Amino acid sequence: APPHPREPAPTAPQALELTPTGPHSQEAAPEGGGPVVRLAPAVGMPPVWVGNASAAAIRRAARLGDGWFPSLISPEEVAEGRERLADLAAAHGRPTPLVAIGGTSALGSGPGVPSREAIASGIRSAYGRSLEEVLDIPLTGGPEQAAERLAAYRAAGATHAIIGVAGGDWRAQVDLLAETASLLR
């Protein structure tokens, strides 16, 4: 049921807390009162990945999520976040959620393929981080270099990678990403 017009809409964390879990859950109510969330017909809950690399997102993923999904961070930041995630999940009596990273790539060369520096400059501008912090985040070069970089994320605890294409011919980029994936198997 939608919230009463005079009541604030639930925030994402509240909505996640209210989401019924389990294949037979049909309703949930917030502690302390408030609107009841009803699902009809009852449906199984899909996996919930909590996005963002913030401390709050890690806490939410540990308490409520099936996965943690930070984007555009280094393997070192993934490893630190995963360690915190595991500790918090254990404190809640939950298994450690999976880790899926979001990234960006521009593989190979050719018309419209931006450089690592150009992509990193965009990340720097969008997220207010230093160029040194973000220079190694974009996947660039050939499939071998990209696979090496993704292997570092895997070693840091990531089990999934969702990669956006930053430029160049889309089909060629996707083919290069497929080749990269084959090198990681």
Question: Does the pLDDT of residue 8 top 90, yes or no?
Answer: no
Q: Which of 8-12, 24-28, 99-103, 172-176 has the lowest mean pLDDT?
A: 8-12
pLDDT of residue 23 exceeding 50? no
Least-confidence region, from 21-30, 36-45, 122-131: 21-30
**What is the H or E stretch that residue 55 is in?**
helix 55-64
Q: What is the pLDDT of residues 103-112, one digit of tens each?
A: 999 999 989 9
pLDDT of residue 62: 98
What pLDDT score does 44 carry? 74
Q: Residue 47 carries which DSSP code?
A: P
DSSP state of 52: -
Is residue 7 over pLDDT 90?
no
pLDDT at 107: 98
How many whole angstroms from its chain centre is CA 21? Answer: 21
Asked if pLDDT for residue 93 goes beyond 80, the answer is yes
Q: What is the mean pLDDT of the chain?
A: 89
110 within 8 A of 172, measured Cβ to Cβ: yes
CATH 3.20.20.30 residue ranges of the chain are 47-184
Helices 55-64, 75-91: axis angle to 10 degrees equals: 40
User: Is the CATH number of domain 47-184 3.30.420.40?
Assistant: no
